[in-house]
Chain A
């Protein structure tokens, strides 16, 4: 078990500055999820922790020891690759035993550890098969088995579920989380899927273009996104944004959105009178309002999923999404009125994108 500290880490590939000063602290036993759009540098960062990429600047410490110049095999980490990277010419048993074999462990110990890992992951019947003879989900499990027989200090996962179909992905998500609760090994998990991040993480690290946009507990990020990017990235369907202006008058502060309609200023929001802002409201925090109240919207498309109803509508010129637990039957073009839950709205500076919550 070990903590992981990433301090002001940089990475250059030739002339491109891919990781631009990243700080992350992962506590001992924590499950941290690195999430961000494709190409933002998540894999690169993970591979630097693994020792597969050189660190151009800054410091990475595992278990309190700086590992910048430590080769991968001495870092005591295990990684699950996106393509699983199973040795195709070895049976499942040998794939899992490979690291122990290289470490020259006694045969009996190897067998015992492989069998134990196989039991945990339900791989008992597959030990004598070759990777070719396995389904995607089974291969994924073998890749995890290979990681856990090592009993390493840190697990690294690079988008381990992205090659699975949607249903299996949800199942494996739970399984990985269960596994972590059982083994309590410090884990760093990379994904581009914010739902995976929300459901699995103790700590989420949102990255964009080589920098960390925000780190925190999942619900913290959901409730208090630090900027427009995080607000739009975390949560599905994504948060709605309306261009707006702050109006501070004698009778209190309000936010004026399109069409001159005003709504109350979110709690704790700073900002001066006349400041251009972006007003954010999550689809699940919108409700239908009576005539003359809330914001006027025009229905574009209605998508019932069974569990809830997603309504795509236009407020002024801006597309918004609303999710209702109840079933509604709107027609396209129908005029409705939407009111946000004023306790749960967000305000961002229009220029910097930073949250105006203080």
Chain B
């Protein structure tokens, strides 16, 4: 008994047990239940029966579900790319010697602090067919003659929601990348300048490679958040017009709760898992710690 307690591995297991149980109960159970529901024909108010892959087969043939998949991928790819570009640009700007630097750093966090639902309502109002401040301003400047139908046209609606998502997501990316930039020793830039590097070459050969690990982490998170976005879409367009902005998350909710088909909604949500998993695996294997980051000798 005494020897057992002196065994490092046994003790480790023992101490990890409570955390393990908590994880199992609070993480695995909902995930498991959701997945399980996807394989049943559960409806609201009626327990389901196992129906195998029927839900999935149905969804694969469903044109709305396929559109939602396209929308989700488009939304994720375009919004993430924009967030990365804008976030990096802002971070580089804020990393300079700037007057009122701390003021700007605080301001940039604002979109992140405002509750999503609230900013979504603001965007909804800004995109309104009649009262849009954007249309009003553009018309006043003489750039357009009729108000833009931001949310009535499928592609307009897609880009409008992407713009809202980017506005909300840029601060997170910018602040994380700024934190990364600040870990880069200024003397590296000085050394590069003495080595004859132009500003672009300094960015290309010093900043970018040293920032890659943080870019990987930040963009993984950003992709995960964007792929699973729900609130913005639900408030601004509810998936319309003509399902053009339905994401897998919003469609899943739509089918499961208002539509009552719990099983089908759950199956749709389950279908997101492979995508999320591959994003995580890509980041884990493709962008894991670089060789140069690892300490020690060989």
Is B259 in the interface zone, CB < 8 Å from A?
Answer: no
Decide if B296 touches A133 in the complex (CB within 8 Å). yes
Q: Which residue of A lies closest to B297 (CB)?
A: A133
- Bound Cα distance from A81 to B189, whole angstroms: 12
Residues 194-208 of chain B, each 1 if its beta carbon lies under 8 Å from chain A, else 0? 111100010001100
Decide if B194 touches A132 in the complex (CB within 8 Å). no
Decide if B294 touches A132 in the complex (CB within 8 Å). yes
- Bound Cα distance from A193 to B297, whole angstroms: 31
Decide if A78 touches B294 in the complex (CB within 8 Å). no
Tally chain A residues at the interface, Cβ within 8 Å. 27
Q: Which residues of A are found within 8 Å of B3, using beta-carbon distances?
A: none
Is B110 in the interface zone, CB < 8 Å from A?
Answer: no
Decide if B185 touches A98 in the complex (CB within 8 Å). no
Is A77 in the interface zone, CB < 8 Å from B?
Answer: yes
Residues 154-195 of chain B, each 1 if its beta carbon lies under 8 Å from chain A, else 0? 000000000000000000000000000000010110111111
The contact of B292 among A73, A79, A85, A130, by CB within 8 Å, is A130
- Bound Cα distance from A340 to B295, whole angstroms: 55
Question: Measured between C-beta atoms, what is the minimum distance from A158 to chain B in Å?
Answer: 9
Decide if B210 touches A88 in the complex (CB within 8 Å). yes
- Bound Cα distance from A272 to B90, whole angstroms: 70
Q: Which residues of B are found within 8 Å of A222, using beta-carbon distances?
A: none
Is A275 in the interface zone, CB < 8 Å from B?
Answer: no
State the total of A-B contacts with C-beta under 8 angstroms: 72
Decide if B291 touches A87 in the complex (CB within 8 Å). no
Known contacts A88-B292, A130-B292, A132-B293; A83/B205 CB under 8 A? no
Question: Measured between C-beta atoms, what is the minimum distance from B274 to chain A in Å?
Answer: 33
Is A57 in the interface zone, CB < 8 Å from B?
Answer: no
Decide if B188 touches A85 in the complex (CB within 8 Å). yes
Q: Which residue of A lies closest to B213 (CB)?
A: A89
The contact of B194 among A79, A88, A131, by CB within 8 Å, is A79
The contact of B298 among A73, A83, A131, A133, by CB within 8 Å, is A133
Decide if B290 touches A52 in the complex (CB within 8 Å). no
- Bound Cα distance from A102 to B293, whole angstroms: 24
- Bound Cα distance from A129 to B194, whole angstroms: 23
Residues 280-298 of chain B, each 1 if its beta carbon lies under 8 Å from chain A, else 0? 0000000000111111111
Q: Which of A77, A88, A90 has the most CB of B within 10 A?
A: A88
Is B20 in the interface zone, CB < 8 Å from A?
Answer: no
The contact of B193 among A73, A88, A132, by CB within 8 Å, is A73
Question: Measured between C-beta atoms, what is the minimum distance from A66 to chain B in Å?
Answer: 19
The contact of B210 among A50, A52, A89, A130, by CB within 8 Å, is A89
Decide if B190 touches A81 in the complex (CB within 8 Å). yes
Decide if B194 touches A72 in the complex (CB within 8 Å). yes
Is A8 in the interface zone, CB < 8 Å from B?
Answer: no
Q: Which residues of A are found within 8 Å of B187, using beta-carbon distances?
A: 81, 83, 85
Decide if B209 touches A73 in the complex (CB within 8 Å). no
Decide if B209 touches A89 in the complex (CB within 8 Å). yes
Is A309 in the interface zone, CB < 8 Å from B?
Answer: no
Decide if B185 touches A73 in the complex (CB within 8 Å). no
Is A103 in the interface zone, CB < 8 Å from B?
Answer: yes
Q: Which residues of A are found within 8 Å of B193, using beta-carbon distances?
A: 51-52, 71-73
- Bound Cα distance from A87 to B190, whole angstroms: 11
- Bound Cα distance from A52 to B188, whole angstroms: 12
Is A262 in the interface zone, CB < 8 Å from B?
Answer: no
- Bound Cα distance from A331 to B212, whole angstroms: 65
Known contacts A89-B209, A132-B294; A83/B185 CB under 8 A? yes
- Bound Cα distance from A102 to B291, whole angstroms: 24
- Bound Cα distance from A88 to B196, whole angstroms: 18
Q: Which residue of A lies closest to B295 (CB)?
A: A132
Residues 106-137 of chain A, each 1 if its beta carbon lies under 8 Å from chain B, else 0? 00000000000000000000000111110000
Q: Which residue of B lies closest to A78 (CB)?
A: B194
- Bound Cα distance from A73 to B192, whole angstroms: 9
- Bound Cα distance from A78 to B205, whole angstroms: 19
Is A99 in the interface zone, CB < 8 Å from B?
Answer: yes
Decide if A102 touches B195 in the complex (CB within 8 Å). yes
Question: Measured between C-beta atoms, what is the minimum distance from A5 to chain B in Å?
Answer: 20
Known contacts A89-B292, A132-B292, A133-B297; A52/B190 CB under 8 A? yes
Q: Which residues of B are found within 8 Å of A81, using beta-carbon distances?
A: 187, 190-191
Q: Which residues of B are found within 8 Å of A51, using beta-carbon distances?
A: 193-194
List CB contacts (< 8 Å) of A163-190 with chain B. none
Q: Which residues of B are found within 8 Å of A83, using beta-carbon distances?
A: 185, 187
Known contacts A73-B193, A73-B194, A133-B298; A85/B185 CB under 8 A? yes
If A85-B185, A132-B295 are given as contacts, then 19 extra A-B residue pairs at C-beta distance below 8 Å, sorted by A number, are A51-B194, A52-B190, A73-B196, A73-B197, A78-B194, A81-B187, A83-B187, A85-B188, A87-B188, A87-B191, A87-B192, A90-B292, A99-B194, A102-B197, A130-B292, A132-B292, A132-B294, A132-B296, A146-B191
8 pairs across A/B with beta carbons < 8 Å?
A79-B190, A85-B190, A87-B188, A87-B192, A89-B210, A98-B205, A99-B195, A146-B191
Give the 9 A-B residue pairs with the shortest CB-CB distance, closest first: A99-B195, A85-B187, A85-B191, A73-B196, A130-B292, A89-B209, A102-B196, A89-B292, A72-B193
Q: Which residue numbers of B lie inside 8 Å of A, CB to CB? A: 185, 187-188, 190-197, 201, 205-206, 209-210, 290-298
Q: Which residue numbers of A lie inside 8 Å of B, CB to CB? A: 50-52, 71-73, 77-79, 81, 83, 85, 87-90, 98-99, 102-103, 129-133, 146, 150
